[in-house]
């Protein structure tokens, strides 16, 4: 498999790591769309969120728990943040490994795009 996010999670491609455990890896986006732009990825490869199954509920909950931890640890929890998941091309997905964008550090607008 030639997945850039799998390679980042395995340490084969350098990244600016924010968090890592057995299930997930979080790192700063190389093309940030906000002052804080962190990607949170499962280490297990899922091409899109459509591949999530019933057995994956704990993983998804864990991702949101760690997003909260990162927000608190980095101090942007009080002002607020946004979590975004894009699915497939029309949904804005460009890397086909499930990932969660954690965005903060500026006022977010609605609709997003």
**pTM, 2 dp:** 0.96
Burial 66-98 (b: 16+ CB within 10 A, else e): bbeebbeeeebeeeebebebbeeeeeebeeebb
d(CA 90, CA 62): 27
Q: What is the band of 113 on the pLDDT scale with cuts at 50, 70, 90?
A: low
d(CA 98, CA 45): 7
| Segment 88-110, tens digit of pLDDT | 999 999 999 999 999 999 999 98
Radius of gyration from C-alpha coordinates of the chain: 14
Tokens 């600016």 locate to 16
Please identify every residue annotated as catalytic. 99
CATH top class, domain 4-79+99-104: alpha beta
| Segment 26-81, tens digit of pLDDT | 999 999 999 999 999 999 999 999 999 999 999 999 999 999 999 999 999 999 99
| Segment 16-36, tens digit of pLDDT | 999 999 999 999 999 999 999
């Amino acid at each position: 498999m030639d997945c850039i996010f799998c390679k980042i999670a395995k340490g084969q491609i350098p990244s600016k790591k924010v968090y890592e455990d057995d299930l997930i890896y979080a790192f700063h986006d190389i093309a940030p769309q906000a002052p804080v732009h962190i990607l949170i990825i499962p280490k297990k490869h899922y091409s899109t969120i459509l591949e999530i199954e019933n057995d994956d509920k704990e993983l998804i909950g864990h991702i949101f728990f760690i997003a909260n931890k990162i927000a608190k640890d980095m101090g942007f929890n009080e002002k607020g943040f946004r979590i975004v998941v894009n699915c497939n091309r029309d949904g804005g997905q460009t890397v086909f490994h499930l990932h969660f964008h954690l965005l903060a550090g500026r006022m977010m607008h609605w609709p997003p795009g």
